[in-house]
């Protein structure tokens, strides 16, 4: 099961970073290239513990839906979303925040399992893991630019 870990240093306070990371409207804006939109559950504002959202987006030219739920929440340090249904066999995304001086270190720990057995594992190696890394880095760069331009 691939594990991706990305650290992003943000020149902002921990609460601002935490809240923007769980903001549905911000998430939509950060992934506009995939036409991502919230279509069910919590579709706007800040998502919290035990709330869920169904996302609709285009990835690899295919319209897909994915539902995730917030399963752990310790503001402003940590929250976890986990897939309820979607294209993956499973995924768990930990969002970890640590304040150091005037900066926040945001760590994404994204663990996923692809369907289709050996073919899914091959897809992970050939392109899917890198695709997910690029998606997370794109979102984090957008978050960094938005926070630091305020």
CATH number for the domain including 144?
3.30.530.20
Helix (H, G, I), strand (E, B) or coil at 39: strand
List, for residues 86-133, the tens digit of each pLDDT value.
Answer: 888 999 999 999 999 999 999 999 999 888 788 888 888 888 899 999
Structural domain that includes position 24: 3-148
Quote the radius of gyration of the chain (alpha carbons, Å): 15
Number of domains in the chain: 1
Quote helix, strand, coil % in the chain, to nearest 5: 35, 45, 25
List, for residues 18-44, the tens digit of each pLDDT value.
Answer: 999 999 999 999 988 888 899 999 999
């Amino acid at each position: 099961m691939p594990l991706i870990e990305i650290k992003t240093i943000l020149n902002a306070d921990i609460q601002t970073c935490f809240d923007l990371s769980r903001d549905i409207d911000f998430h939509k804006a950060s992934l506009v290239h995939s036409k991502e939109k919230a279509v069910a559950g919590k579709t706007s504002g800040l998502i919290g513990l035990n709330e869920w959202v169904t996302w609709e987006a285009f990835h690899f030219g295919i319209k897909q839906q994915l539902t995730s739920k917030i399963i752990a929440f310790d503001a402003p340090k940590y929250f976890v979303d986990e897939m309820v249904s979607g294209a993956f066999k499973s995924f768990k995304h930990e969002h970890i925040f640590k304040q150091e001086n005037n900066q926040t270190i945001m760590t994404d720990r994204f663990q996923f399992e692809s369907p289709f057995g050996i073919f899914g594992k091959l897809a992970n190696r050939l392109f899917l893991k890198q695709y997910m890394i690029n998606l997370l880095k794109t979102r984090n760069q957008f978050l960094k630019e938005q926070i630091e331009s305020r």
